[in-house]
Structure 1
Amino acid sequence: MGFQALLIPYFLFSLMFFPNFFIQSSGLRKIRKSVIRLPNGDSYGHPFDPTRVTQISWHPRAFLYRNFLTDAECDHLIQLAKDKLELSMVADNESGKSVASEVRTSLGMFLWKNQDKVIAGIESRISAWTFLPVENGEAMQVLHYENGQKYEPHWDYFHDKANQVRGGHRVATILMYLSNVRKGGETVFPNSEIKDSQPKAIKDWSECAKKGYAVKPEKGDALLFFSLHPNTTLDEFSLHESCPVIEGEKWSATKWIHVRNFDKPQ
């Protein structure tokens, strides 16, 4: 009787403070919903759902989120960018200035932060996923790759000091795929520790993708990887490449996040 007397108040307390949990006949507690509703107006009602995230590598730390974006969000980002595209640039290793290079041949443009409710919602979802504040992120860059266009192997952390003044190194990158690609356009990690463990059928992957662990661009999916180790040292395993598009076209959006506030320069 004493045990039952203690159990009933505990059960009522649990119902009051943990309404998303219920007890089945087996006695196991399960979560009704695994989603997180975000505060600042996700206009498409698309919450953050951690059950859609898969860890694909630990060296580098990389995670794939299936259906991170809705089709409507993907189409919206493309619509905002398609008539404003310019040649994509790279940071010069010595001066830090943006320069044109044959290493990167895509077209792209930057959207404004909080440009509209859709972008604000995506920014919130990224912050919930990465546990990094919105103010540490750069503006989102939308990219377009046509036949043969690519971005050769590179790191997202900086080799120059000039770009580290504002926000420090880029600690994390989120690649959001806005379209499907018939062939090519994969993101590949040549230095990944598991590069030899991924089976690749000849007809399904490009030759470029066979250099390492690769991720196919599928509309709505997002790839998160970290360029720094947890102790903030540079992670050379994070070397990555955007393989040339062979058939079709590729649309993507990139979000770089820094170790410090990027909106308020030091």
Structure 2
Amino acid sequence: MMQSDATHPPALAQLEHAARGGDDGARIELGNRLLSSHPYGSDEHEQGLEWLKQAAEGARGVQAQWFLGAYFAQVPVRPDARVHALYWLGRAASAGMPAAVDRLADLHLAGLGVERSPARALELQQQLADIGFARAAWEVGYLHTQELAAGSSQNLAATAFARACALGYPQAYYSLGLRFALGAGVARDLSFARALLDRAADGKFAGAREAAETLAPLAAAPQATDWHSRLKQNMDAAPLERLAPGRIRPEERPLAVRELEAHFASVGHPALQVDAGGRLSCVAGGGASLKAAPGDWQWLGKGPRVATSDAFATREECDHLVHKMGESLRRASDYRRGRRANDDAEVQYFSGSGQPVGALATDSVVRVMEERVARMTGWPADALEPCSVIRYEPGEEYQPHVDYFTTEQMEQDRLDGRDYGGQRVATFLVYLRVPEAGGETVYEQAGISVAGQPGMGVLHYNVTPEGEPDGLSLHSGRKVQRGEKWLWRSTLREHPLHRAR
């Protein structure tokens, strides 16, 4: 097999020679290089895809299948891309590749290439959780919170988060802490809640410190310091290294997970028990729910049409998105494609930072919020633009602009971007964090100003009821004076984005 290193990768001619000689490693590397360095539709791009398909039937087939599944998930403009993504990810998942199982769950949750099935998504994430994948264990807890599958409950959510804590996942301490603070699925215990939230803060989870101070102040949590110390000692002694790649055989992982769960239960809290099957569980209690309960639309104006919905997203969802995206935010000139007029407008007018949530970065929170947008607006889910997260720091703003497209832009999108979505009918925003001062979203010509609050959804239409671009939708994000402003956003398009008409 051809040898190479990162400093001196082999030339394409060498790779092609090895690939034609049957070297599957060369086929994979050559395929990925051609796909990444040549535009969709070019002969070289198509040849790259063929090399990966050849490798998918060889000795390194699982790796090639994963790359093919990831490719089709990220290039939805290809004919039947979602069906192909489902096929290749399904093959890699059947062979035991965890990343493919995770993305397959995402397809089922979003209904991409397959009928939407939260139950199947939950089942796939549970498979990963049971063999020690901590993020999957957290996703199981979040999906149970939404009660989207038969038998789901707030108690099962708490149990899943406790199991993720046993695997050392800081976000799980946060989620379990919220449930002990509010009595959601478990009996309320402010001391244990504060200790869990503080442990999440120790792990640098965004929002954990604020949640601790707000929901479980030390004055109301007299035993918090003791529980925090016990939790820290427990995790310091946990044999997490057993789950490191290559340490144990795949068939031994479920037993290692059970041992870690029993170790976490040994912290001694009465709500943490080990059942007859050796699995960690939380004793049921409390009647609160952490499932979002959006308020009715409050219409602020008809010209333009602007409405807000309180509590569209939960504290848990907002903090999750801030934490998830915080390290990846970039200036608009870096994350926008810069070849279309609407992309150039963001570069010109927005001085903050942001990041689209790519197809390989979506998760249960993103998919559930997208479905919530579709349900509350009566809009087809496949006509929503992929979401993004943006942040304003002090002094940053979004100068007055409109979100609708011109006829020329839509035609260019169709030709160059193979984007068939047509007009941006409406824009949907969710406030993840609000600044201490400044940062209002202002519709200048209508005299409407929205200061926002965490979790609030804001819907504004970019077109009139007759479908014409609405100049009154001109809006801006005023300069932030103190603190930070974070938004999750998407747009409602006229047609499905990737379906040719």
| TM-score, structure 1 as length reference | 0.71
Q: Is the 8 A contact 1:145 1:250 kept in 2?
A: yes
**Paired position in structure 2 for 1:189:** 443
Q: Give the Cα separation in 2 of the matches to 1:40 and 1:230.
A: 34
Q: Give the Cα separation in 1 of the matches to 2:434 and 2:342.
A: 32
1:98 matched to 2:343:
yes
Q: Is the 8 A contact 1:185 1:217 kept in 2?
A: no
Q: Is the 8 A contact 1:48 1:129 kept in 2?
A: no
Higher helix share: 2
Q: Give the Cα separation in 2 of the matches to 1:56 and 1:39.
A: 36
Secondary structure class of the residue paired with 1:178: strand
Q: How much has 1:56 moved relative to structure 2?
A: 1.0
Moved more, 243-252 or 95-104: 95-104
Q: How much has 1:181 moved relative to structure 2?
A: 1.0
1:69 matched to 2:69:
no
Q: Is the 8 A contact 2:397 2:479 kept in 1?
A: yes
Q: How much has 1:40 moved relative to structure 2?
A: 4.2
Q: Is the 8 A contact 1:40 1:121 kept in 2?
A: no
Superposition map of 1:35-114 within 5 A:
40=118, 43=143, 44-45=145-146, 46-47=291-292, 49=294, 51-89=295-333, 95-96=340-341, 98-99=343-344, 101-112=347-358
- 1:243–1:40 Cα change, 3 Å: farther
Deviations along 1:246-266, whole A, 9 cap, x unmatched? 011111111111101113355
Q: How much has 1:180 moved relative to structure 2?
A: 2.2
- 1:103–1:183 Cα change, 3 Å: same
1:237 matched to 2:472:
yes
Moved more, 114-123 or 158-167: 158-167
Q: Is the 8 A contact 1:179 1:252 kept in 2?
A: yes
2:404 corresponds to which letter in structure 1?
A: Y
- 1:39–1:222 Cα change, 3 Å: farther
Match of 2:384 among 127, 131, 137: 137
- 1:115–1:151 Cα change, 3 Å: same
Q: Is the 8 A contact 2:342 2:405 kept in 1?
A: no
Secondary structure class of the residue paired with 2:464: coil
Deviations along 1:79-133, whole A, 9 cap, x unmatched? 12111111125787x9537337442111000113682111111011100111111
Greater RCO structure (CA 8 Å; 6+ sep)? 1
Higher strand share: 1
Match of 1:170 among 418, 424, 428: 424
Gaps of 5+ in 1: 1-37, 196-212
1:65 corresponds to which letter in structure 2?
A: S
Q: Give the Cα separation in 2 of the matches to 1:225 and 1:79.
A: 27
Q: Is the 8 A contact 2:331 2:352 kept in 1?
A: yes
Q: Give the Cα separation in 2 of the matches to 1:48 and 1:226.
A: 23
Q: Is the 8 A contact 2:293 2:311 kept in 1?
A: no
1:262 matched to 2:469:
no
**Rg larger for:** 2
1:171 corresponds to which letter in structure 2?
A: V
1:219 matched to 2:473:
no
- 1:91–1:47 Cα change, 3 Å: same
Q: Give the Cα separation in 2 of the matches to 1:54 and 1:160.
A: 31
Q: How much has 1:163 moved relative to structure 2?
A: 4.0
Secondary structure class of the residue paired with 2:433: coil
Gaps of 5+ in 2: 1-115, 120-141, 147-290
1:116 matched to 2:368:
no
1:58 corresponds to which letter in structure 2?
A: K
Paired residue total? 208
**Paired position in structure 2 for 1:33:** none
Q: Give the Cα separation in 1 of the matches to 2:499 and 2:328.
A: 26
Q: Is the 8 A contact 2:443 2:475 kept in 1?
A: yes
Displacement over 4 Å in runs of 4+? 38-42, 89-92
| TM-score, structure 2 as length reference | 0.39
Q: Give the Cα separation in 1 of the matches to 2:367 and 2:340.
A: 33
**Paired position in structure 1 for 2:408:** 161
Secondary structure class of the residue paired with 2:301: strand
